[in-house]
């Protein structure tokens, strides 16, 4: 599980970890954006909250996650959780869904506020595969994704007002779950400052140090 402020790099690093280990990347934000783009009722409801920078109601989020992580489902090989849980209630629900011993590690990706503000203001994202770019490091051709050829755009919630609101919600609701995982001995704090490759290396060290429960 990756925890951290908006703009800490959770999405980028979760995608890299998932690819490296050949496991799923479970991002509630990506799921809601996809549902909203398709236009499902739940997706459109979620979008009303997302665009304001508020959390989507727990009921809706937990339903989606529970369906995705159901035992015996396709995620039996493991997964990287990104953007869930975001409050204590969701953390407790996660324990219910995957069991108390289901989680290997909760990594808090630490980045100071001034840096995330700059990253979010300049962030551009591929509409199709969600790859993250920055105005200072755009795709090589004309805002066309280097990976999939999709359009690279600014997210609807990367406005100044929504960014302020999301960071406020993070402090109020998500910071308390850092202690929840610390108390369970699952928390590791890693600096998310610097080049993506360096952050990835730090994360790999943490993951490699996890005692492997399923080694053959």
- Catalytic pick from 5, 16, 47, 123? 123
Q: Which option in ligand ADP, Zn ion, none does residue 145 bind, with CB closer than 5 to 8 A by kind?
A: Zn ion
CB 6 within 8 A of CB 116: yes
Name beta bridge partners: 144. 141, 151
Q: Cβ 144 to ligand ADP, closest distance in Å?
A: 22
Exposure pattern of 176-194 as b/e (b: 16+ CB <10 Å)? Answer: ebbebbeeeeebbebebee
Q: Does 32 bind ligand ADP (CB under 6 A)?
A: yes
Q: Is 155 considered catalytic here?
A: yes
Residues 6+ apart with CB under 8 A from 150: 126, 127, 128, 129, 144
Site for ligand ADP in 43-62 (CB under 6 A): 49-50, 53-56, 61
Q: Is 202 considered catalytic here?
A: no
Q: Is 10 considered catalytic here?
A: yes
Residues 6+ apart with CB under 8 A from 164: 53
Residue with the CB atom nearest ligand ADP in the bound state: 29
Point out which residues bind ligand ADP (CB under 6 A): 6, 28-29, 32, 49-50, 53-56, 61, 83-86, 90, 157, 166
**Residues with catalytic function:** 10, 86, 123, 155, 166
């Amino acid at each position: 599980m990756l925890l951290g402020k908006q703009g800490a790099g959770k999405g980028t690093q979760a995608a890299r970890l998932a690819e490296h280990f050949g496991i799923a990347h479970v991002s509630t934000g990506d799921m809601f954006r996809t549902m909203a783009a398709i236009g499902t009722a739940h997706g459109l409801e979620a979008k009303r909250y997302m665009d304001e920078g508020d959390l989507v109601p727990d009921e809706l989020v937990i339903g989606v996650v529970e369906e995705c992580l159901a035992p015996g489902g396709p995620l039996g090989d493991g997964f990287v959780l990104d953007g869930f849980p975001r409050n204590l209630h969701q953390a407790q629900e996660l324990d219910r869904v995957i069991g108390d011993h289901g989680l290997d590690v909760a990594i808090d990706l630490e980045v100071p506020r001034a840096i995330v503000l700059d990253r979010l203001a300049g962030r551009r994202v591929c509409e199709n595969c969600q790859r993250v770019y920055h105005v200072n490091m755009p795709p090589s051709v004309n805002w066309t994704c280097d990976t999939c050829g999709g359009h690279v755009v600014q997210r609807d919630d990367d406005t100044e007002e929504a960014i302020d609101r999301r960071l406020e919600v993070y402090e109020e609701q998500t910071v308390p779950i850092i202690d929840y995982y610390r108390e369970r001995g699952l928390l590791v704090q890693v600096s998310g400052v610097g080049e993506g490759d360096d952050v990835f290396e730090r994360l790999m060290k943490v993951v490699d140090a996890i005692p492997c429960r399923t080694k053959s």
